Structures are given as C-alpha cells and as structure tokens.
Amino acid sequence: MDQVNSDWIQADAALRSIQVTGSDRNEPVLVSGRAEGLQLVGIGTDAAVFTYDGTPGYAFKVYSDVALPKKETEKMVYEKLEGLPFFPHYYGQGLNYLVISYEEGVTLHDCLLQGIPIPEQAVQDVETARELVRSRGLNPRDIHLKNVLLQDGRAKVLDVSEYALDGDDKRWEHLVWAYRVFYPALEGKKLPMWVLDTIKTGYAQWDQASHSLDEFGGRVSELISRFLR
C-alpha cells in the first residue's frame, strides 16, 4: 500500500467509517455508514466515489471487497495514462481506495437531459484520448454518456477500469454514429429521461449478429420522431 499522503489523511479516517458492499450480479454497490464531511458523488458496480470537505480537489474511489482485486489493475492503468490531459490525475492509494483528481463538469448524459449543447470538440477530444490510450498499450473500452464530462467545451473521460481488458465493445463508436445521425435535430433540446432509458434498454437488447446498426437506428429514429412531434 502507498503511504497515505498527509493531504488526505483526514479523509482516510473518514473513509474507514463507511462500508461498500458489492455482489457478483453486476449490480450497483451498496454504501452503509457515514462520516462528517464525506460526500457520495458516484456509484458503480465495483466501487463508490466520495469527496471529503477537508480535502478539496481529491476524489476517493472505494472498492467493495468483491471487487478489491480490480483496484491494482486500475492503479496500473492510471499510472500508464500519467500526463494525458483527458483523464483524472492519479495521486495514490489507500487500503481499499484510489485517490484521483475530482473533476467538475456535466456528463454527456446530463447534457442531453438539460439541453446543454455537446460540441464537436468534445467528441474529437474523446477520439484523441482513445488513440493516446492505445499508444500506451491499453484498450479504451466502456466509454459511454455517463463517464464523459464536458468541461468548458472540452471532454474529460472518467472510469478507466476496463482499459486492461481485451475486445472492442463498440460503445463509443456507436455513440459517435448517433451523434452524427440524430444529434443535429436534438441539439439544445431537453430529452426526457424516458427517451434515454428506452434507447438504453433497446441498445442492451440489440442483437448485433442478427440486426444491423441501421435497423437499430430506425427504431431510435421512430422514438425521436415521437418526441419531436
């Protein structure tokens, strides 16, 4: 374990007061316990992310016992990404957590809900980030609307936990396709949650071996047309 930096030693004490519990069913972790000044800012299937009032600028990704072996892998990924401006900065680790920079911004998912325009520059930033990830021997996967932040018109990519895995999940490629095909008619409009949830469910159920992207896009087009009427 890295030596705990004095900048976050207060947070370390607070983090020991909470419990992050995971499962083997790929469900979001459960968080129990509390500590003064500790703020829960994100929940995933492997970990929960906290900030601490006494240590602004830091975020603490706390892993469940089930997912704890993944901590070392993600630490390795962050170390390989050192110096790239498109990702949070890695500072160190505690017993069951990683310490990274806390990133302000609005996710692309929330941009769609709030009608905040997503500029072409942000899309290009992610494309550049992916190229740089590959140049460092890693595999940029699992990039989706909820783990890309918009910061002053530029993109910051969160959650690098799958970059050591093989395979291309095509999630970002499909999002870029949707951005080119559908987004021009939607830019600046507030999409209701039911539209995004319906598309997400349809995408999860889409059989890529039996149906083309254009066929799936046809169903998305019908849904968007209903919204725009």
Q: Which CATH number belongs to the domain containing residue 117 in this structure?
A: 1.10.510
- 73 and 136 in a single domain? The answer is no
Q: How many domains does the chain have?
A: 2
Helices (H) and strands (E) in the chain, counts: 8, 10
Q: How many CA atoms lie within 13 A of 73 on its CB side?
A: 15
Q: How far apart are alpha carbons 117 and 106 in whole angstroms?
A: 11
- 95 and 111 in a single domain? The answer is no
What angle (nearest 5°) sits at the alpha carbon of residue 225, between those of residues 220 and 229?
155
Give me 4's structure tokens: 């705990």
Burial class (CB in 10 A: 0-12, 13-18, 19+), 116: middle
Among 101, 119, 141, identify where a domain stops: 101
Put simply, whether the predicted model's pTM sits higher than 0.85 gets the answer yes
Burial class (CB in 10 A: 0-12, 13-18, 19+), 64: buried
Residue 200 burial (CB count, 10 A): 13
53 domain residue, yes or no: yes
Q: Which of 12, 47, 11, 18 is nearest to 34 (CA)?
A: 18
Q: Along the 229 residues of the chain, how does pLDDT read in single tens digits?
A: 455 567 778 899 899 999 999 988 888 999 999 899 999 999 999 999 999 999 999 999 999 999 999 999 999 999 999 999 999 999 999 999 999 999 999 999 999 999 999 999 999 999 999 999 999 999 999 999 999 999 999 999 999 999 999 998 899 999 999 999 999 999 999 999 999 999 999 888 887 767 788 888 888 888 888 888 7
Give me 78's structure tokens: 């962050």
Q: Which of 22, 57, 26, 62 is nearest to 42 (CA)?
A: 62
Among 79, 101, 123, identify where a domain stops: 101
